[in-house]
Amino acid sequence: MPSHQNNFWKDKRITVTGGSGFLGSFVVEELRARGATSIFVPRSADYDLTRLEDQDRMLADSQPDIIIHLAALAGGIGANRARPAEFFYQNLMMGVPLMHKAWQAGVEKFVAIGTICAYPKFTPIPFKEEHLWDGYPEETNAPYGLAKKMLLVQAQAYRQQYGFNAIYLLPVNLYGPRDNFDLETSHVIPALIRKYIEAQERGDDHVTLWGDGSPTREFLYAPDCAKGIVQAAERYDSPEPVNLGSGQEISIRDLAELIARLTGFEGEIIWDTSKPNGQPRRALDTSRAEQFFGWRATTPFEQGLRETIAWFRGNRES
C-alpha cells in the first residue's frame, strides 16, 4: 500500500452514510485498509436521514472532513414499481439537503453515489457519461434514478457557484457477499442464487424467472466498487460524472444459466414473459475512471459469483 494513501486518510474525519449497508461495509473496510482511523457510520435507528433535524444532528456529532453519501432506498423492478413515490422522495431528501448542509458546514469533500438507473432507457452501448441527459430513464425505476441524478446537478451547481468539491459516481449493478437476498427487494444475482439453492433443497424441477432473458446487464463486485469510491474520494476533483463498472456485458439468460451451473441447479428455467424486462441493455464505458483516478475493476466475474454463492450458503440463518 503506497504510503501517501495512508497519509491522506490518517487524520481525516470521514462520514459514510449507508456505511452499515452492503456496499458501505466494503467502503468502510477499504478506508481502514488505507489508513483511515476516524470513520463515522450513522445508523438509521439513530438518524433518519430524510429528516432535516437528524441531518443537522449527524453533522454536529460527526464533524466530517469528507462525506461519502451511500445511503439510499434501493431495490429491484418489483419494489420500484410498487413504491415509486417513496423511492423518489426518500432518495431526494436524503441527498439534496445533506449536500447543502455539508457545504454550509465547510465539509472539504462530498462524494455522491448515483445510479445506473439515471441513464436514458435507450442509451447507446457502452454508456458514456456524456449520454446521461439524452432521454428519460427506464420507466420502472425513473423516480429513483432521477432523484439520485439531482445530486449530479447539485454537485455541479455548488462547484460552479461555491467552489465546493462535490463529485458524482455512477456504479453499475453491484453484487457480492453480504448482498440483499430478500426475494421481494433483491436484485437479479442474489435473487437467482437464492431461487436455485432453495429449488434444489425442495427438489423442484424448474424455476420461473421474470421477462424473456434478453436484456443485458453489467455487474461490478462490491469490494471492487468500494476501492473505486475511496480512490475517487482521494484523487478526483472535477464536475464530470464518472461510471464505475466492470466493462463486461452479459444477457440475463446467460447469467441465469451461469448461476445455475455454479449453484448446481439442474432443473428447467422457465421465462415468465408477462413480467417486465426492464432496460433493454446496460453496459458502461469505464475509461473515465481509469483516466481520472487510476481505477478499474479486477475481480473476474465467475470468481466473484462463486464467493457470493459461498457467502449465501454460509450465512443463511441470518
121-156 pLDDT tens trace: 889 999 999 999 999 998 989 999 999 999 999 999
* Per-residue pLDDT, 262: 98
Mean pLDDT of all residues in 265-285: 92
Strand residue runs (E) in the chain: 13-17, 38-40, 66-69, 109-113, 165-171, 173-175, 206-210, 216-217, 219-221, 242-244, 250-251, 268-272
Mean pLDDT of all residues in 271-279: 89
* Per-residue pLDDT, 3: 42
* Per-residue pLDDT, 6: 56
Q: Which residue has the higher pLDDT, 26 or 74?
A: 26
* Per-residue pLDDT, 77: 78
Statement: residue 116 has pLDDT above 60: yes
DSSP-derived letter for residue 136 is: P
> What's the residue count for the chain?
318
* Per-residue pLDDT, 2: 46
* Per-residue pLDDT, 4: 47
Statement: residue 239 has pLDDT above 50: yes
What value does the mean pLDDT of the chain take? 94
CA 27 to chain centre: 11
Report the SS3 class of residue 57. helix
Contact 226, 30 (CB under 8 A): yes
**Cell numbers describing residue 263:** 449453484
pTM over 0.85: yes
Q: Is 144 known to be catalytic?
A: yes
Band of pLDDT at residue 225, cut at 50, 70 and 90 = very high
User: Could you report the per-residue pLDDT of 76-109, keeping only the tens digit for each?
Assistant: 778 888 999 999 999 999 999 999 999 999 999 9
Catalytic residue among 119, 144, 168, 236: 144
Band of pLDDT at residue 318, cut at 50, 70 and 90 = low
**Cell numbers describing residue 278:** 426492464
Q: Which of 149, 172, 299, 174 is nearest to 243 (CA)?
A: 172
Share of the chain above pLDDT 70, in %: 97
User: Could you report the per-residue pLDDT of 39-58, keeping only the tens digit for each?
Assistant: 999 999 999 999 999 999 99
* Per-residue pLDDT, 278: 80
User: Could you report the per-residue pLDDT of 289-303, keeping only the tens digit for each?
Assistant: 999 999 999 999 999
* Per-residue pLDDT, 78: 81
* Per-residue pLDDT, 1: 43
Give the type of residue at 168: Y
**Cell numbers describing residue 106:** 465547510
Q: Which CATH architecture has domain 3-177+218-248+282-298?
A: 3-Layer(aba) Sandwich (3.40)
User: Could you report the per-residue pLDDT of 188-224, keeping only the tens digit for each?
Assistant: 999 999 999 999 999 999 999 999 999 999 999 999 9
Contact 109, 68 (CB under 8 A): no
